[in-house]
Structure 1
């Protein structure tokens, strides 16, 4: 059977479904940008069909499905796919656990959590032309820079 025989009804059906979605979006959404996006998606199947690109997409999907049914249904390949999925899942879970542990450690070492005042008073020193620069960790006189230095010091960055 020729793919063109069932691609046209499929495109007409998808377009009618898109028109229905456009009407619902117009009725219930106050954002007109969403309506324009739904209209664009509605026109997509017809544009693909009329340009001939839908037949190319159809042939590509048919080739992939043919490959999957001929090759991918062996137990060895499915075991490999299962291990790949497990590896990705464990990687994501590990990243979440590391992020949670880091957040807890930062909260535990913050001055507010330890009952100390949020900003300790440090003497301000201004270095003139004949004076030495302030030692590392001392206030610079600029309150914004002092705050940035304090944040860096709290995180162990100096």
Structure 2
């Protein structure tokens, strides 16, 4: 009963503000204020206010919210632990499909595709040829790592 009275008073006050705004020739703003003012009365008439006030004062409802919060906390904790482990669900699924228990390397799940959409086996052989061609005194591993990173 108290909630319905408060909603009705809020609607009446909002409609009064809308009337004053309309008097000042700001009709668009006045219409918006009137629309917002009618929401509390609409909630009272549909029974939403009675439903919410019935829920708010039941201890079993608050226990239910606590259980939902605990479930959310457990879910988020397991997601955080999963992310810290370094493996994703897709990697573990691929490992199980391959018959292994260990996780797949991150780069192994994304093959490099050429312009035709097929993997290029000769691209993996090129860095080895470059290493064999380099003299013994020079080390180009840093340059090769940068080139590999950019797909060259």
Does TM, normalized by the shorter one, top 0.5? no
TM category (shorter chain) comes to 0.3 to 0.5
Instruction: Please identify the structure whose Cα radius of gyration is greater.
Output: 2
